[in-house]
Structure 1
Amino acid sequence: MAGVWKSYGARSVLRGVDVTVEPGSLLGVTGENGTGKTTLLRTMVGELLPDQGVVHRDGEIGYCPQETVVNHLLTVSQHLELFRVAYGLPDTGHARELLEVLGCPDAMRQRAGTLSGGTRQKLNLVLALMHRPTLLVLDEPYQGFDWDTHRRFWRLARKFRDEGQAVVVVSHLLDDLQHFDTVYELRDGVLRKGIRHR
């Protein structure tokens, strides 16, 4: 994205943002609450149109928002089948493998509404990853994860990066900074490389 501006009424949230996410990179975005991190990601994936500037995308995109996209009445298996059809995949094998990697292989017959918050978030994440997108855009994707699943997530993120996928993760945890190849801070509508110490 280049020269991207986005405003809500008189409030400018993004002010001329420039960022390129290269294949095989793991990029972190940090910033205080309310600085526009989610707006940045939604503009990046095409959910929001910029007021000014250009957003260029190559290949498939996988987007995991903070709010889960699951239907509480459907089982985990039904979610995988629904998204398999939407993505045009031959089967749900990769999605099931991802669920196993994240530590919930036995939830297939459970309705999403009966799952714990952490397990719902695992399903939310898998739905964004199951079609092997070239760009992964993840907005604090580990909400509700326990420490073991948190570590599993980062192993998975590094695996995707090493396989040539581009991965963007919004995080507010200082411990996460070690995992990124590059870290950006969104502050006053401007995206800057590195973290400003206060």
Structure 2
Amino acid sequence: MPVTAKICGLSTAATLDAAVAGGASHIGFVFFPPSPRHVTFDQSAALAAQAPGYVERVGVFVDPEDALLDQAIRSARLDAIQLHRATPERAAEIGTRTRLPVWIAVAVKTRADLDAAHAFRGAAQRILYDAKTPEDAKLPGGMGLRFDWTLLRGFDHPLPWALSGGLDADNVSEAVATSGARLVDVSSGVESAPGVKDKARIAAFLKTVATL
């Protein structure tokens, strides 16, 4: 099975074009104002209209209220919902209510952290293993942090999964070889500054993924 990639935190037409041209299977729009990657509903609507139908649009949320989800789904024509800081009960509720696949982020630093994934069996459709951020961090991800990918070796994954956290063109090959990931998610690793996606870095990341 080929390795595919999600370019997350897109906010401009040019960088979305770069993601599509490079072969991204998924694009991510962040709906979380504290993030430098946050997009408005109007921005997301324009970007979604630009994206071809074969590229899945994923909305990224942090403990969202229903009203925010509803507006984002309409504006960005979302194909999936990615949740950070959500309980299994809330993830299941959102999935039932929106009838969209739910991705749940599991923050990882130690082997024991992986066990949280099991609680989402039946409540979500995909696990996104991401690096755990510091306790005082305002953002749950997108900080360029990585975790020990060897922790995923031999783990009994309860759901289809993706790897995130500190990936870039230079280390994604090692990350895939070490973890066995078939879907990788990148954000800060294709940026020139926080929230500023770089077309050349997107192209380089996707070119590497295409060889895996």
Same fold (TM over 0.5): no
- Between 1 and 2, higher relative CO (CA 8 Å, sep ≥ 6) is seen in 1
Give the number of the structure whose alpha-carbon radius of gyration is greater.
1
- TM-score, normalised to structure 1, is 0.35
- TM-score, normalised to structure 2, is 0.33
